[in-house]
C-alpha cells in the first residue's frame, strides 16, 4: 500500500529532517494497520548503496520519498519496492541531458506540459533505482521508459512493474515493485 | 575552483556561501536532493567540459571530494 502525506504550512522549505520524521510516521502508521507491528524505530540494515531494510522483519519491504511538502511511503510483504515523489516545477536541461535518452527527451520537449512529462520520467527512473537500491550511482539513462497514451508504462527493466500516481496536481509519484522472483 | 564550485552549489542549495566548506556534504549538510545533485553534476560537466560517469558520482559526497575530483579531471 502507498501512503501520502501533504504537510502544507507545517514544514519549512528544505527541512529534510522534518520530512524524514513524517516519513517515519507514515511508515509507523502503515506497519500498524497492515501488519499490526508497533514501530519503535526498529533496527535497520543498509545495503552498499544505503537502501534501508528491517533487520527484524526481513520479509517486509518499504521505501520513503519526499519532495517539498509531500511525503510518500510504500510497504509490501510480497515484493521489494521503490517510490519517488517530485513537485512539478521547471526542469533543468542539465538533469534532462544527464538522465534522459534521446527519445525520452524528444517526448518531453514535444509535450504541452514538458515539466510534468520530465518529472514522470525522472520519478520512474528514481523509483527503479530505489527499487534496486543503488542510489544515484546507477546510470539513469540506461533505464528507459515510454508512457503510452492510455497510461501504460513500457520499460526495458525486467522483473518489476511501474505505476504513476498523479492524483495531486502539484506532484508526480512513481512506484516500482517486483513482479516475479527476479524482482524480489 | 572552490569559488566556482560554491557559486554553482548556491544555485541549487538554499544556504549562505559562508556555510559551504570543503567538509560540507551535499545531501547531509547542504540538503540537496538526488535531483539537485544530478543537476549540479550536469552543470559542472557542461561548464567545465568534463565527464563525470554515474558510477563515480557515489564517491563524490562532499564539496572537498568534488574539488579534488575536478582538479584531477582537469589536469
CA atoms within 13 A on the CB side of B40: 27
Q: For residue A75, give the 3-state DSSP assignment.
A: strand
Kindly indicate the confidence band of residue A165, based on its pLDDT and cuts at 50, 70 and 90: very high
CATH number for the domain spanning B18: value is 1.10.1200.10
**How many Å lie between the alpha carbon of A55 and the closest alpha carbon of chain B?**
24
Kindly indicate the confidence band of residue A15, based on its pLDDT and cuts at 50, 70 and 90: low
Average pLDDT over residues A156-175: 95
Kindly indicate the confidence band of residue A9, based on its pLDDT and cuts at 50, 70 and 90: low
**What backbone torsions phi and psi does residue B55 show, to the nearest 5 degrees?**
-65, -20
Number of residue pairs across A and B with CB atoms under 8 Å? 51
Average pLDDT over residues A48-72: 88
Kindly indicate the confidence band of residue A8, based on its pLDDT and cuts at 50, 70 and 90: confident
ipTM: 0.86
**How many Å lie between the alpha carbon of A66 and the closest alpha carbon of chain B?**
10
How much of chain B, in percent, has pLDDT values that exceed 90? 48
Give yes or no for residue B60 having a pLDDT over 60: yes
Average predicted confidence (pLDDT) for chain A: 89
Domains of chain A and any CATH numbers: 1-184 (3.90.470.20)
Tell which wins on pLDDT, A68 or A18: A68
Domain count, chain B: 1
Pairing of strands A81-87, A70-76: unpaired
Q: In this complex, do B35 and A122 lie within 8 Å of one another by their Cβ atoms? A: yes
Q: In this complex, do B38 and A95 lie within 8 Å of one another by their Cβ atoms? A: yes
Nearest to B11 by CA among B56, B41, B54: B41
Q: In this complex, do B45 and A98 lie within 8 Å of one another by their Cβ atoms? A: yes
Give yes or no for residue A139 having a pLDDT over 50: yes
CB atoms within 10 A of CB B73: 15
Tell which wins on pLDDT, B7 or A42: B7
Nearest to A161 by CA among A134, A131, A121: A131
**Which residue in chain B has the smallest CA separation from A142?**
B54
What is the pLDDT, as a whole number, of residue A16? 67
Q: CA dihedral defined by B27, A11, A95, A3, rounded to 10 degrees? A: 100
Q: In this complex, do B54 and A14 lie within 8 Å of one another by their Cβ atoms? A: no
Kindly indicate the confidence band of residue A11, based on its pLDDT and cuts at 50, 70 and 90: very low
Residue A74 contacts residue A31 (beta carbons within 8 Å)? no
What is the pLDDT, as a whole number, of residue A58? 86
Give yes or no for residue B27 having a pLDDT over 90: no
CA distance B6 to A99: 24
Give yes or no for residue A50 having a pLDDT over 80: no
Quote the domain boundaries for residue B40. Answer: 2-73
Q: Which grid coordinates are listed for A119?
A: 518529472
Amino acid at each position: 500500500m502507498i501512503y501520502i502525506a501533504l504537510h502544507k504550512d507545517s514544514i519549512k522549505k528544505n527541512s529534510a529532517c522534518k520530512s524524514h520524521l513524517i516519513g517515519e510516521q507514515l511508515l509507523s502508521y502503515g506497519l500498524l494497520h497492515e501488519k499490526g507491528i508497533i514501530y519503535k524505530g526498529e533496527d535497520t540494515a543498509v545495503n552498499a548503496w544505503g537502501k534501508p531494510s528491517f533487520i527484524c522483519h526481513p520479509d517486509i519491504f518499504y521505501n520513503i520519498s519526499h519532495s517539498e511538502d509531500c511525503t510518500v511511503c510504500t510497504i509490501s510483504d510480497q515484493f521489494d519496492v521503490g517510490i519517488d515523489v517530485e513537485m512539478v516545477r521547471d526542469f533543468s536541461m542539465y538533469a534532462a541531458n544527464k538522465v534522459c535518452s534521446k527519445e525520452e527527451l524528444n517526448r518531453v520537449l514535444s509535450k504541452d506540459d514538458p515539466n510534468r512529462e520530465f518529472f514522470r520520467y525522472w520519478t520512474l527512473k528514481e523509483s527503479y533505482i530505489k527499487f534496486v537500491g543503488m542510489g544515484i550511482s546507477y546510470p539513469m539513462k540506461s533505464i528507459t521508459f515510454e508512457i503510452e497514451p492510455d497510461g501504460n508504462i513500457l520499460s526495458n527493466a525486467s522483473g518489476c512493474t511501474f505505476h504513476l500516481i498523479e492524483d495531486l496536481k502539484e506532484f508526480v509519484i512513481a512506484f516500482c515493485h517486483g513482479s516475479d522472483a527476479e524482482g524480489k | 575552483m572552490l569559488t566556482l564550485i560554491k557559486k554553482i552549489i548556491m544555485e541549487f542549495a538554499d544556504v549562505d556561501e559562508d556555510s559551504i566548506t570543503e567538509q560540507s556534504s551535499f545531501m547531509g549538510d547542504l540538503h540537496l536532493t538526488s535531483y539537485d545533485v544530478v543537476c549540479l553534476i550536469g552543470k559542472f560537466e557542461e561548464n567545465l567540459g568534463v565527464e563525470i560517469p554515474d558510477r563515480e558520482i557515489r564517491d563524490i559526497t562532499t564539496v572537498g571530494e568534488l574539488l579534488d575530483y575536478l582538479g584531477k579531471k582537469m589536469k
